[in-house]
Amino acid sequence: MKILGISAFYHDAAAALTIDGLPVAAVQEERLSRSKNDPAFPLRAITWCLDHAALEPEDLDAVIFYERPALKFDRVLMTLLRGFPQSWRIFPQAMKNMVGEKLWVRGIISAQLGVPAKRIHFTDHHLSHAAAAFLTAPTQQAAILTADGVGEWATLTVGQARKRSGGPAEISLLREVHFPHSLGLFYSAFTAWLGFPVNEGEYKVMGLAAYGTPRFAGEVRHMLHRTRDGAFALDLGYFDHHRAADAAYSHRFVELFGPPRDRFEPIDPTTPQGRHYADVAASAQCVLEEVIVDIATALRRETGLSDLCLGGGVALNGVANARILRASSFERLFVPPAPGDAGCALGAALWADRILFGQPHRDCPDHPFWGPAVVPTDLARLAAEDGLSCERVGEAELMDRLVDAIGRGAIVGWMEGAAEFGPRALGHRSILADPGDAAMRDRINRDIKFRESFRPFAPVVPADHAETFFELPPGGARLGRFMSGVFPVRPEWRDRLRAVTHVDGTARVQMLEAAMAPRLHALLMAYGRRHGLPVLLNTSFNLAGDPIVTSAAEGYSTFRRAGLDLLVAEDLIVRRDPARQDHSLEAMA
């Protein structure tokens, strides 16, 4: 069967195509439209997926949307009614939003693709998250935990699932927590109060938390308290997401923690004010972890299963993930490379195949590379037109040159094969650099990422060498496969891994299996042979405010704008024109 999954209209739209039960293509709309977190109907992504498989829309057996729009409308309307009469301010906007576009998904899909309406299906938002986590994971039986801001009504679900290659798959969600009680929206309120954009800045809160101590944990436990049945509830007096469209925290929140941070002014965690923000962040992070670890522990006891599949935006919190692994007594934790709503496009397609249409399960390849491939000849043409040195070199020599250059402080743009699906660069669209040079970290933060100096970079290490440098709990290597866990750097290596070690001595490390990205793995090994440790700084290949690069032209443009030293696309290597000073303020764009 040929099934197209779509996720759209909220944040970070995406499309995914499965054929005979296996993923064939998946890409976020932003990677093609070049507009970050593009929520629009993902026509470019859909078109690319179909072209990639040489299909026309009429060849599709089914199209599945990742959630139920009318049920979502029910929640929005009910929330407005319950907020009567204070909700009058947001009522017109909310209605126009829903009725304007979001409610007519079947019609939009049918009109845009020319697919008959009866081939268009819907599933539950959290089932999409669960399917994205479970059906892609190499496990036969697992407990399921999904948590995000909100789907239709559910904000968190627990359940269990089983599958067998060639046999049936089954996902049953047992219980859920409903809006407005939400771990994701709880965290977003702190994100907003700390002056970061909601839905994007959550990982900044996590990074900032490492600078603080959770001295407000007691207060925060009142805001997010446990219910007697083991779930949780928000004290809605502190929040505004159930009353207003664009507000997350209330006056009472401000009375408790002080005025929100001015988003235009930098945070300096060494000042008292900066420490205050860090302490608040640490308190929110700490309580989030307590609640989710507790729910996971109870789920482990209830199901008796040793594997846990984690989905939803909250699963992007690598610190919480690592704590679940350490504390909940699950032996393995599976977080997909795209646990957020974009990943639901793939989750929904797989759910439709296995469960809606009852097709036998087939094990999915365990990697994130489902996007458009880079075309090195495009890069060769661009470089030649601009008179830059550009060479094709054999693998051994390429590795040799890169190892040498990175050792001398070069920053490398690295493009290979198909682009990653999901928010993280996992080895095909990366910026690579020396992990031991703090000045380098500052240069990348300032000139390329134009971001707060308190944010750490991630290291990448071959999976079988990870234990040498990082303290991993059992099962840690799996969590590190897609950079989903934050682990302590061994103290004796912290100095040599300065640029990738966070202030609290941890790192969000990717543990790379050779089979997943053989060339990057070879580069790491070569780097290790020359410089003593097979670790590189790995950050996504994009400038501040841009989505990760997809094509050679975007890679080339970013290479020029960011003043990178080398650009590699497969076996092609382009060198920066040494006569021209390319670093400039423009990283601010």
Partner 1 sequence: MIRWRAPIDRMVWADPRRRARKLMQFAEVEAQGARDLFRAAEVTPDPHLRRRLFAHARDEVRHAALFRARGLALRRTLADPGPDRALGDGLIPGERGFDRLEVEKESMAALLAFIHLSERAAAHAFAAYGAVLGHDPETRAVIARIARDEEGHMRYSRAELARLAPDQGRRALWIARLRRLWRAYLRLALILADLISRLILTLVYFLLLAPFAWMAKRSARRQAPGWRACVDRSRDGGGGQY
For the CB of residue 501, give the shortest distance to partner 1 in the complex, in Å: 30
Q: Using alpha carbons, list the distances in angstroms from residue 174 to 14, 145, 146, 177, 537.
A: 28, 10, 12, 11, 41
Residue with tokens 């690579």: 432
For the CB of residue 390, give the shortest distance to partner 1 in the complex, in Å: 14
Chain residues 149-168 in contact with partner 1, contact rule CB under 8 A: 154, 157, 159
Contact by Cβ (8 Å): 37, 63 = no
For the CB of residue 562, give the shortest distance to partner 1 in the complex, in Å: 11
Contact by Cβ (8 Å): 573, 393 = yes
Residue 95 binds: one of partner 1, Fe ion, none (C-beta under 5 to 8 A by kind): partner 1
Compare residues 148 and 353 and give the one whose CB is closer to Fe ion: 148
For the CB of residue 44, give the shortest distance to partner 1 in the complex, in Å: 9
Compare residues 307 and 341 and give the one whose CB is closer to Fe ion: 341
229-237, 494-502, 514-522, 531-539 -> range binding partner 1 (CB under 8 A): 229-237
State yes or no: residue 74 binds partner 1 (CB under 8 A): yes
State yes or no: residue 352 binds partner 1 (CB under 8 A): yes
Instruction: Indicate the helix (H) or strand (E) that contains 82.
Output: helix 69-82
511 φ/ψ angles, rounded to the nearest 5 degrees:
-105, 110
Please tell me the total number of residues recorded for the chain in this structure: 589
> What angle, 0 to 180 degrees and rounded to 10, lies between the N-to-C axes of helices 202-209 and 183-193?
80
Instruction: Give the bridge partners for 431, in sequence order.
Output: 413, 539
Chain residues 250-269 in contact with partner 1, contact rule CB under 8 A: 262-265
Query: x/- contact string, 181-220, with partner 1 (CB under 8 A)?
Result: x---------------------------------------
Contact by Cβ (8 Å): 372, 48 = yes
Query: In angstroms, how far is CA 402 from the centroid of its own chain?
Result: 28
Residue from 148, 289, 416, 554 touching Fe ion (CB under 5 A): that is 148
DSSP 50-81: HHHTT--GGG-SEEEESS-HHHHHHHHHHHHH
55-63, 144-152, 214-222, 476-484 -> range binding Fe ion (CB under 5 A): 144-152
b vs e for 162-193, b when ≥16 Cβ sit within 10 Å of the residue's Cβ?
A: bbeeeeebebebeebbebbbbbbbbbbbbbbb
Residue from 54, 229, 492, 580 touching partner 1 (CB under 8 A): that is 229
Structure tokens that stand for 43 in this block: 């026509």
For the CB of residue 117, give the shortest distance to Fe ion in the complex, in Å: 25
How many CB atoms lie under 10 A from the CB of residue 585? 9
> Does residue 180 have a cis bond before it (omega within 30 degrees)?
yes
Query: x/- contact string, 373-402, with partner 1 (CB under 8 A)?
Result: ------------xx----------------
Please report which residue ranges of 161-248 form alpha helices under DSSP H.
183-193, 202-209, 217-223
State yes or no: residue 29 binds Fe ion (CB under 5 A): no
Residue from 22, 174, 396, 439 touching partner 1 (CB under 8 A): that is 174
Q: Using alpha carbons, list the distances in angstroms from residue 15 to 6, 115, 345, 540, 568.
A: 5, 15, 5, 21, 28
274-282, 328-336, 451-459, 544-552 -> range binding partner 1 (CB under 8 A): 544-552
Q: How far apart are CA 530 and CA 545, in angstroms?
A: 35
Compare residues 70 and 503 and give the one whose CB is closer to partner 1: 70
Compare residues 38 and 148 and give the one whose CB is closer to Fe ion: 148
| Neighbouring residues of 456: CB distance < 8 A, sequence distance ≥ 6 | 207, 441, 500, 501, 502, 503, 507, 508
Structure tokens that stand for 431 in this block: 């910026």
Residue 228 binds: one of partner 1, Fe ion, none (C-beta under 5 to 8 A by kind): partner 1
Residue from 133, 183, 192, 231 touching partner 1 (CB under 8 A): that is 231
Q: What is the 3-state secondary structure (H, E, C) of 139-154?
A: CCEEEEEEECCCCCCE
Residue from 70, 111, 254, 439 touching partner 1 (CB under 8 A): that is 70
Residue from 341, 420, 565, 570 touching Fe ion (CB under 5 A): that is 341
Residue from 15, 76, 98, 105 touching partner 1 (CB under 8 A): that is 105
169-177, 208-216, 275-283, 516-524 -> range binding partner 1 (CB under 8 A): 169-177
For the CB of residue 343, give the shortest distance to Fe ion in the complex, in Å: 9
Residue 148 binds: one of Fe ion, partner 1, none (C-beta under 5 to 8 A by kind): Fe ion
Query: In angstroms, how far is CA 300 from the centroid of its own chain?
Result: 25
Compare residues 148 and 554 and give the one whose CB is closer to Fe ion: 148
State yes or no: residue 67 binds Fe ion (CB under 5 A): no
Residue 258 binds: one of partner 1, Fe ion, none (C-beta under 5 to 8 A by kind): none
Q: Using alpha carbons, list the distances in angstroms from residue 477 to 207, 434, 461.
A: 21, 22, 11
For the CB of residue 554, give the shortest distance to partner 1 in the complex, in Å: 6
Query: In angstroms, how far is CA 30 from the centroid of its own chain?
Result: 13
Residue 341 binds: one of partner 1, Fe ion, none (C-beta under 5 to 8 A by kind): Fe ion
Contact by Cβ (8 Å): 155, 146 = no
**Residues of the shown chain interacting with Fe ion in the complex, contacts defined by CB under 5 A:** 148, 341
**Residues of the shown chain interacting with partner 1 in the complex, contacts defined by CB under 8 A:** 34, 64, 68-71, 74, 78, 80-82, 84-85, 88, 91-92, 95-96, 105-106, 118, 121-124, 154, 157, 159, 172-178, 181, 227-233, 262-265, 352, 355-356, 385-386, 545-546, 551, 553-554, 556-557, 560-561, 584-586, 588-589
